[in-house]
Chains A and B, each alone.
Chain A
Amino acid sequence: SQQGEEDPQALSIQEGENATMNCSYKTSINNLQWYRQNSGRGLVHLILIRSNEREKHSGRLRVTLDTSKKSSSLLITASRAADTASYFCATVNSGYSTLTFGKGTMLLVSP
């Protein structure tokens, strides 16, 4: 069964705008990760945030984690056409060693 649920399912913005995607999960986690997938390709790891962290930055990416609400958000600032992809959150649940993926958010950035 899938743990993470991303919201929205699809997002369309213009270059230069910010994109925010949200992820909710159900059980206690060890860490939460965000991945990106270009159409027909493998996934690429973007960022990992541990359960005791609240915010993390990597370049134009900002991830927040609220364990009390069991939710996370991924913010991409100053988006570019090359950011067009699907974005997935995945959780490592406490006591486990596998990832549970959500269904993803499809982001379209228009020039």
Chain B
Amino acid sequence: DGGITQSPKYLFRKEGQNVTLSCEQNLNHDAMYWYRQDPGQGLRLIYYSQIVNDFQKGDIAEGYSVSREKKESFPLTVTSAQKNPTAFYLCASSDRDRGYEQYFGPGTRLTVT
């Protein structure tokens, strides 16, 4: 899992509540990413950030928000607007000089009931 930590490993929430997933890296990477993984769907990009205080929407950004106030941290908030929030969430970071090879955290499994 490299130098990326995600917490918590499992998270349970009631429908209608916002929830924030943590992602921290100590690899000194400029770029960070959030993915969602559903069974049989592979990974889909939610948001990414190439530099502090800047981020871009990925393929499925609706219902999610992020911030990038520090190089090491890229938290993801799953809002109540996200229609199907139950999923496995993966955070990654990369170094442009290595062809954007990505280092992944261990993931957070979010269950919303």
Contact = CB atoms under 8 A, between A and B. Distances in A.
B42 A43 contact: no
A13 interface: no
Given A42-B106, A103-B40, A31 B99 contact: yes
Interface of A: 1-2, 30-31, 33, 35, 40-45, 48, 50, 88, 90, 92, 97-104
Contacts of A43: 43, 90, 92, 102, 104
A42 B41 contact: no
Interface in B28-56: 31, 33, 35, 40-45, 48, 50
A87 to B, nearest CB: 11
B90 A42 contact: yes
Give me the 10 closest cross-chain CB pairs, A-B, nearest first: A42-B104, A103-B42, A101-B43, A43-B104, A101-B42, A42-B106, A31-B99, A92-B100, A45-B101, A42-B107
Given A40-B107, A43-B92, 6 more contacts: A2-B44, A33-B101, A42-B92, A43-B90, A48-B101, A103-B42
Please classify the interface of chain A as helix (H, G, I), strand (E, B), loop, or mixed, using the class held by over half of its residues: strand
Contacts of A44: 104
Interface string B1-36: 100101000000000000000000000000101010
B90 A98 contact: no
A88 B99 contact: no
B52 to A, nearest CB: 16
Contacts of A35: 102, 104
B85 interface: no
Interface in B61-102: 88, 90, 92, 96, 98-102
A37 to B, nearest CB: 8
